[in-house]
Amino acid sequence: MKRTHNNGQLRINNVGEEVTLIGWVAKKRNFGSLVFIDLRDRYGITQIVADEKFDSITSQIHNEYVLQVSGKVVERQSKNPDLPTGDIEISATNIVIVNVANTTPMIIADKTDALEETRLKYRYLDLRRPCMQAKLIKRHRIVQSFRKYLDNLDFIEVETPVLTSTTPEGARDYLVPSRVQPGKFYALPQSPQLFKQLLMIAGMERYYQVARCFRDEDLRADRQPDFTQLDIEMSFLDEEEVMNVIEDMFVTMFKEVENYEIKSPIRRFGYKEVMETFGSDKPDTRFGFNLKDITKVFENTEIELLKGKIIKAVVGKNVCDQISRKDIDELTMTAKKNGAKQLFVFKNSTEGFNGSLVKNMSEKEISDFKQSLNVENNDIVFVVAGEFLEQACNPLGQVRIYLGHRFESDKLVGYDMLWVKDFPLLERNEETGGLDAVHHPFTRPYDEDLPLLDTDPLKVRSHHYDLVLNGYELGSGSLRVYNHDVQQKIFELIGLTDDDINRKFGYFINAFQYGTPPHAGIGLGLDRIAMILTGSSSIRDVIAFPKNASASCPLTEAPTVPSDKQLEELHIIIKKDE
């Protein structure tokens, strides 16, 4: 089954050539004396014309049959400007049915009638659609660009274990039982974090890996239980040098893959700045509706709900009449899900200035409120009061996104890339009252903040940096702790006992005693990068065989129930719900 050309290759300058093509039947149109067949492969579509002498075979042909067609390239009388091959067609001299196909459960075209569950169940058919193939091809080009860039900078690709020991990295581990060591379990890596740091201790200096990672957590549009990240680590570079390497890598990739110029240097924001301005540590700065601080307006207030609180506001200019009661109810629920005790709403309309707190506000507070926010007719103001910065800002960050996407959608074009840095090292766990690492416990604190580890650990800043694109976090990285005593101190602050440390990190801590170099790195979400660059709404569209929202695979029906024999070999008994 040979072919001379692919189905996206032939042009007007090929007219007169004898060619052989192979592909799937995308469409068949019968005009009596002539039958037209659109033959499709990965590269495109070419129109085939068959006359009456092929009636016996064309009558058997249906969509998605695999054909081999030989014939002469001729100029089309009715050209199709929407197809690269639209100036020509193949006048068939021989047609062979290579394979037949059942009627497909979905339309194999860019526009399909299938629901996502059907698309995932018949993913091999879904991936025949040109738009889906284009997404995977672009993903490949992204990875190819990254690899080429890193190779040119003397990075080496090293694979790290998939079966390893469990480590606390912010999500649940997937556990794999050991048959040969009954009662013991491997963990699938949430990331190659410890191993890439060990590679720096091993003197590799510059490492990368297109790494498979696994996290047992609740899913959403940009999250999967098994995902891929570009994992990078390097020694003897400071924070600015590391960020410059990653930045230039993205500038290069955008130029090669999208022919798009990312402005360099990429803007850098501090964590506190983005939280106070955008209400998010991964802001989309293409639209407005930025947060305003109005704490001073209420510094002497008698309103108990606002006393001693950090108070933030977002103003919707001239949109009050476009926001319904239902919209406000939905925004209130969203704000509460993101930490707000309450979302206060103020309207300035033809009916006057009103809101849930107006009757309790003094005349001075009303005047200062309007003046500080420049409240005008038909404005709506959303306000949140919080005990701490994140509680006041995070909820309004979600309100800001809603307003931006609804009222400034015309600005959501292009690519908005930025760095966020200077994150706090630790945060308070609201459930336990203890301390947690904001990202992971291997992030290096600022040297000048080290004394605060003993006196006020929540004020310690870290050398952590996030790369953000269009409101999505593409990746997180940091300078790593390379001092044994500092690492031990951080473990203790997050509540790990000596026994915990030795059991979970004994091999890692031991390695620190043999000359650990200063090192740093980053993990970049390849699925998310591909999702944004392909204009997809979900990372499932850029993963060949993804899971659904229930973490199941409709194609393979994984996860499946193991056999009794398998469970017996693993010494596992499944406890049934009562």
Q: Does residue 257 sit in the same domain as residue 360?
A: no
As a whole number of angstroms, the distance between CA 142 and CA 536 comes to: 15
Residues 207 and 308 in one domain: no
Any domain includes 91: yes
Give the per-residue pLDDT at 171: 79
**Predicted local distance difference test score (pLDDT) of residue 430:** 79
**Residue that finishes a domain, picked among 411, 431, 460:** 411
User: Residue 183: which of 506, 505, 575, 569 has the closest Cα?
Assistant: 569
Do 425 and 401 belong together in one domain? no
Residue 213 and residue 259 in one domain = yes
- pLDDT value at residue 578: 62
For residue 339, give the CATH number of its domain: 3.30.1360.30
Burial of 64 (0-12, 13-18, 19+ CB in 10 A): middle
Are residues 251 and 141 both part of a single domain?
A: yes
Residue 54 DSSP one-character state: G
pLDDT at 217: 84
List the beta strands (DSSP E) in 82-189. 88-99, 156-157, 175-177, 185-187
Are 136 and 262 found together in one domain? yes
**Does a structural domain hold residue 481?**
yes
User: Are residues 148 and 204 both part of a single domain?
Assistant: yes
Is the same domain home to 94 and 142? no
Its domain, for residue 37, covers: 12-99
**Taking each helix axis from N to C terminus, what angle separates 389-407 and 325-337, rounded to the nearest 10 degrees?**
140
Q: What is the pLDDT of residue 321?
A: 94
What beta strand segments (E) does 51-87 contain? 66-75
Q: Is residue 273 part of a domain?
A: no
pTM above 0.95, yes or no: no
**pLDDT at res. 494:** 93
Determine the pLDDT at residue 350.
86
Q: Are residues 66 and 154 in the same domain?
A: no
Examine residue 6 and state whether it is found in any structural domain, yes or no.
Answer: no
Residues 229 and 307 in one domain: no
Q: For the chain, how many structural domains are there in total?
A: 3
Domain membership flag for residue 312: yes
Q: Does 424 share its domain with 398? A: no
What CA–CA distance (Å, rounded) separates 339 from 58? Answer: 64
Domain match, 143 and 258 both: yes
What does each of the 578 residues of the chain score in pLDDT, given as a tens digit?
Answer: 799 999 999 999 999 999 999 999 999 999 989 999 999 999 999 999 999 999 999 999 999 999 999 999 999 999 999 999 999 999 999 999 999 999 999 999 999 999 999 999 999 999 999 999 999 999 999 999 999 999 999 999 999 999 998 876 667 899 999 999 999 999 999 999 999 999 999 999 999 999 999 999 876 666 899 999 999 999 999 999 999 999 999 999 999 999 999 989 999 999 999 999 999 999 999 999 999 999 999 999 999 999 999 999 999 999 999 999 999 999 999 999 999 999 999 999 888 999 989 999 999 999 999 999 999 999 999 999 999 999 999 999 999 999 999 999 999 999 999 999 999 999 988 788 899 999 989 999 999 999 999 999 999 999 999 999 999 999 999 999 999 889 989 999 999 888 888 888 888 889 998 999 999 999 999 999 999 999 998 999 999 999 998 899 999 999 999 999 999 999 999 988 76
In a domain? residue 111:
no
